[in-house]
Amino acid sequence: MTATIKQLEAFILDQNLEKLEAELNKFNLMDVFNGERDEKKHSAIIGWFLDPSNNHGLKDYFLSEFLKEVLYVNKDNSHAKISLIDVDFIDFTDVIVFFEEKFQNNMRGDISIISERNKIYVIIENKIKSNEGINQTTSYVEQVEKTYPDYNKLFIFLTPEGISAESEQFLSFSYSDLYNVIKRVITNKGDVINNKTEFVLTQLMQNIEVNIMEEGKIEELCAKIHKKHRDASEHIANLYKLSKAEREELLPSGKQTIIYNRVGWARTYMKKSGLLQSPRRGFARITERGLKVLEQYPEVINDKFLEQFPEFIEFQTIKKEQSKVKELDKWQKKDIDEMTPDELLEKGYNLINADLSQDLINKLRVEHFSVLERIVLRLLTNMGYGEGKVTGQTGDGGVDGFINEDKLGLDKIYFQAKRFNENNPVSSSMLRDFIGALELKGVKKECLSLHQDFRKMLKK
């Protein structure tokens, strides 16, 4: 085996590539709104949590923790007119938060916070991609002093790296500091806030870590991979005769080079085809099937080649079923340059969704059957059917658990969670057995949850 092939194998099996793929495939709310580094969208979300009157369930806790962190980071700054101890005792429930407060010369602050009762005014200037305008923060200070002369004022300059503003009155605050605030809020209030609030906080924190913080995970992993496998990546680029510009070309997100992205997806496809496997998170190894394929020295490994493996067909089937666009098959035959932006987004979304679905199915196939039962119970509960419990055990008559539709438990939905191997589909006898067991209990409502397709006759 040549040194080049060994380099390529080491590159494909690198655990950092697995981690990078996991980071890039994480769902993030900011991606949906194309707001990964959008200042206005971040200001809107941050401002929403800073406002005690909003329905996030935190009251003034987030605002208080935010201001305390700002003051702690700037504890040696003489321009901080409010002390950290003062903030800890102040009731901020009367606070009003508004955006883009208009000053003279059409200047607008990003976030303004006013407490009439405590005579406190806070202005936050948020900079992610843009730089401070000429005399911008100096002008803000002058105009705020004129508009709110009797208030204790805090001027905050929020940036990815926590750089200083032109005006010394502004206290520097980084997105890394904000990340620490969010993390502390989730830790301290996770048992009292609702799921939606925790979800948005977690998504914001994840976006800050991945897309804004200077030493984000993706940049770190890319650097590790490039340093370790420079020779292998160069060989791939040389093989395809890529120019310097093509080798350095990034995805639209700016997070990753196109060549690394395509190698990563090739690796995913080989995992779905059974040529590679991941014994645990962050690790990968070649399978017996993969070794046999290597022994054949195939001229090319593409979708058509991988279609000989049933696991890849299943992966592709899930991908097609999840698409709401009937022309997906035609898309796969198009050159990517011919696709519209909408087509590319739809295709990418369905591909990542299918990948996640397949990973979940594979996970459920190897876990203990009780795991599937608990997951089905949690799914039904989160769908709003009610609270319940798992009862499945030997001789349970085909019933694995139930959901109480009312608090007294007078009306129940019984469920059965079944797991099958991919070559062992659901039969009509299994369905009859489940229905029979429920009839003996006098049950009127039932749910059969399967992790395998029904046969056509059952659908009828």
How far, CA to CA in Å, does 204 sit from each of 32, 36, 42? 12, 9, 8
Q: Which residues contact 219 (CB under 8 A, 6 or more apart)?
A: none
For the chain, the maximum distance between any two Cα atoms, rounded to a whole number of angstroms, is 81
Return d(Cα 16, Cα 7) in angstroms, integer.
15
Pair of tokens at residue 163: 């750089």
Return d(Cα 460, Cα 455) in angstroms, integer.
9
How far, CA to CA in Å, does 82 sit from each of 68, 86, 89, 109, 349? 10, 7, 12, 20, 47
Q: Which of 414, 418, 394, 395 is nearest to 403 (CA)?
A: 414
460 residues of the chain, pLDDT tens digit each: 454 555 555 655 556 555 555 555 555 566 655 566 788 888 888 999 999 998 888 999 999 999 999 999 998 888 887 888 888 889 999 999 988 887 766 667 889 999 999 999 999 999 987 788 888 899 889 889 888 999 999 999 999 888 899 899 999 999 999 999 999 999 998 888 888 888 888 888 888 887 777 445 555 555 555 555 555 566 677 777 888 888 788 776 666 777 777 777 787 888 888 898 766 554 567 888 999 998 888 888 888 899 999 888 877 775 555 444 444 444 444 444 455 445 555 566 666 666 677 777 777 766 666 777 788 888 888 888 888 888 765 555 567 788 887 766 667 787 777 766 555 555 666 666 666 666 666 666 656 555 555 544 455 4
| Helix segments in 273-327, DSSP class H | 288-296, 303-306, 310-322
pLDDT at residue 97, rounded to an integer: 92
Pair of tokens at residue 98: 């508004």
Tell me which H or E stretch contains 211.
none
Q: What is the DSSP string of 81-136?
A: -S-HHHHHH---TT-EEEEEEE-GGG-EEEEEEEETTTTEEEEEEE-SSSPPPTTH
Q: Which residues contact 267 (CB under 8 A, 6 or more apart)?
A: 12, 17, 21, 276, 284
Q: Which of 114, 112, 115 is nearest to 47 (CA)?
A: 112
Side-chain half-sphere exposure of 267, counting CA atoms within 13 A:
27
Question: Could you tell me the domains of the chain?
Answer: 3-24+226-335 (no CATH), 33-193 (no CATH), 369-459 (3.40.1350.10)
pLDDT at residue 240, rounded to an integer: 77
β-strand pairing of 446-450 with 412-418: parallel
Cα–Cα–Cα angle for 35, 41, 46, rounded to 5 degrees = 125
pLDDT at residue 385, rounded to an integer: 81
Spell out a b/e string for 130-145, using b for 16 or more CB atoms within 10 Å of the CB, else e: eebeeebbbbbbebbe
pLDDT at residue 328, rounded to an integer: 42
pLDDT at residue 302, rounded to an integer: 86
Helices (runs of H) and strands (runs of E) counted in the chain:
21, 11
